[in-house]
Amino acid sequence: MTSASRTVPFAAFGAATVLAGSIGHDLLHMPLQISDSLSLILDAASSPSAWSDFRAHLSEASYFRPMRYATIKVVSDLSNGNYALGYRVFHAALVLVFLLLFVRALQIRDRVGLAAAPLALTVFVGIHTFLGTVKEIYPTNHFLQVAVLALLALNLTQTRGGLLVDMALLLTFGFAALTLESGLLVWVVICAAWISGMPGASRRTVLGATLLLAGYAWVRFGLFSTGLPTIEERTTGFLFERLDPVDIRETFGDRLAPFYAYNVVSSVLSVLFSEPRSGVWVSTKALMSGEPAPRYLVQVGASLFATGLVAAYVVSRLRSGIRKPVTLADRHTVIFGVVLVANAAMSYVYTKDEIMSVAGALYGLPVFGAAVYFLRRWPARSHTWAAAAAICLVCMVGSMAWAVRAAGVHHVLRSQAFVQRNDWTRLEREWRRDGNWGRYADSESLIRELRSQAISTRVVNPYFEPRWMERVFDVDY
């Protein structure tokens, strides 16, 4: 291996570190959010141990996430009283690990791969499912945790395998499954990796993970009788609007199969084409209104470019007579396809961008593989001047669109930080109205400390930003 080839992987990891650092900087300057967060922080601070939190959440009505609460407690204890900083540092560290695992899975070894790395990184960060892993400042973002564990499992399957790798894969699956329902996708990753021929995924691993999955089902549905989420629990997108549970019942009655099918199909389309968003066809609705913002063209155009690149790669491989995965890019494409379908199937009750974060995290892998594939073939093929110019123009515009989407992450995080800081100014009034202030009377000093820290956080007022930013960059749907 030459010195240049040894430098290439470090350059790719360096780029990922810089990108993660910029996002981490935003996260460290974001106040903790109140909704779905403050009560968990207060509960963890007063809890005796992580084990007690784990046991207390083994049996719930519709969810089975005991490891999530145990993790929150562990981070709480490690914070040593500085909870805001502790949870934000944990979040930023997860983002760094997330990006490094993604780059490691690419296995960049030469300059051609390094040339395609910026596209892969901007796709990874720019896709809207990534926003759900960073914009929600939960105590510990469980969507991000599961996506990180899924990428960890994929990286383990790309090793040479062995007993230690098998054990690590089983532990990864167990931790993910107990953290969030979408953690079951780690089992899908392991099975798809074995089917596609990844060296680190053996029949023994698949069997062990399947036994753990069966044990999970027995414990959840048999031992603790934990149910599944229902349509009565939250609103969801459908066509051009959001429906409340009552609206869903009025529209579909007891015949919910069409509604479930819509959620699954729209989840698949969302990852591939950035439309719909959480079930709502926002870009189409804006186009029909006659005033589509540029961001819709950027989002859909970028996805059309990347998905078209993957589709062209698949067609080219099939025309070459390839009928089973041979290269790493082939295997990544197969794994992504299987996980995409499985992830969408888990969204049958309601569709949400964050739920698709695992499939979204894997989307950049086949895009990178397709880009490298065509870059290697380019010198060997003759092109007319017009054809070469057209191809270069499409690639340039598509890559720029993804760069804009990746840059837009910072805009969303800054806007979210402003909203969350303002929420803290209304905390006492709203919590007294809802009865939460009395419920957490023993934690009043901690609440006021967190409130003081949040309000004193220096954030950017989005009203002083140029108006074009809202029209070009993504927003919170």
pLDDT digits (tens, 9 = 90+) for 89-139: 999 999 999 999 999 999 888 888 888 889 999 999 999 899 888 887 788
d(CA 67, CA 177): 9
d(CA 148, CA 146): 5
Give the range of the structural domain holding residue 423, as residue numbers without chain letter: 3-230+290-472
Average pLDDT over residues 8-31: 89
Q: What sign does the dihedral 71-72-76-82 (CA atoms) show?
A: positive
DSSP 465: S
d(CA 191, CA 196): 9
Reported confidence tier of residue 347, pLDDT bands at 50, 70, 90: confident
Q: Is residue 381 pLDDT above 90, yes or no?
A: no
Average pLDDT over residues 356-368: 93
Asked whether residue 421 is assigned to any structural domain, the reply reads yes
User: Which of 177, 200, 176 has the alpha carbon at shortest distance from 190?
Assistant: 200
Structure-token pair, residue 104: 């490691």
Q: Is residue 447 pLDDT above 80, yes or no?
A: yes
Q: Is residue 222 pLDDT above 80, yes or no?
A: no
Residues 60-97 have pLDDT tens digits of: 767 788 888 888 888 888 888 888 888 899 999 999 99
Reported confidence tier of residue 232, pLDDT bands at 50, 70, 90: low
Residues with Cβ within 8 Å of 231's Cβ and at least 6 positions away in sequence, in order, are 245, 248, 249, 256, 259, 349, 350
Asked whether residue 256 is assigned to any structural domain, the reply reads no
Asked whether residue 129 is assigned to any structural domain, the reply reads yes
Residues 240-291 have pLDDT tens digits of: 888 777 777 877 777 878 888 888 999 999 999 988 888 888 888 878 777 7
User: Which of 375, 363, 377, 456 has the alpha carbon at shortest distance from 105?
Assistant: 363
Under a CB-based contact definition with an 8 Å cutoff, are residues 236 and 263 in contact?
yes
Asked whether residue 265 is assigned to any structural domain, the reply reads no
**Lowest-pLDDT range of 173-182, 305-314, 451-460:** 451-460
Distances (CA, A) of 459 to 31, 42, 424, 454: 9, 24, 13, 10
Q: Which residue has the tokens 């930080």?
A: 417
- Judged on CB neighbours under 10 Å (0-12, 13-18, 19+), 286 is middle
Asked whether residue 269 is assigned to any structural domain, the reply reads no
Whether residue 258 has a cis bond before it, omega within 30° of 0: no
d(CA 174, CA 194): 18
Q: Which residue has the tokens 């994929």?
A: 154
d(CA 392, CA 375): 11
Asked whether residue 273 is assigned to any structural domain, the reply reads no
Compute φ and ψ for 254, nearest 5 degrees. -90, -5
- Judged on CB neighbours under 10 Å (0-12, 13-18, 19+), 353 is buried
User: Which of 180, 177, 100, 106 has the alpha carbon at shortest distance from 144?
Assistant: 180
Average pLDDT, the chain: 86
Query: How many residues comprise the chain?
Result: 477
Number of domains in the chain: 1
Asked whether residue 321 is assigned to any structural domain, the reply reads yes
**pLDDT value of residue 233:** 67
Structure-token pair, residue 147: 């996506």
DSSP 31: P
Q: Which residue has the tokens 């998905």?
A: 307
Q: Per DSSP, what are the bridge partners of residue 237?
A: 242
Asked whether residue 243 is assigned to any structural domain, the reply reads no
d(CA 186, CA 50): 24
DSSP 218-287: IIIIIIS------GGGS-EEEBTEEE-HHHHHHHHTT--HHHHHHHHHHHHHHHHHS-SBTTB-HHHHHH
Q: What sign does the dihedral 246-248-252-254 (CA atoms) show?
A: negative
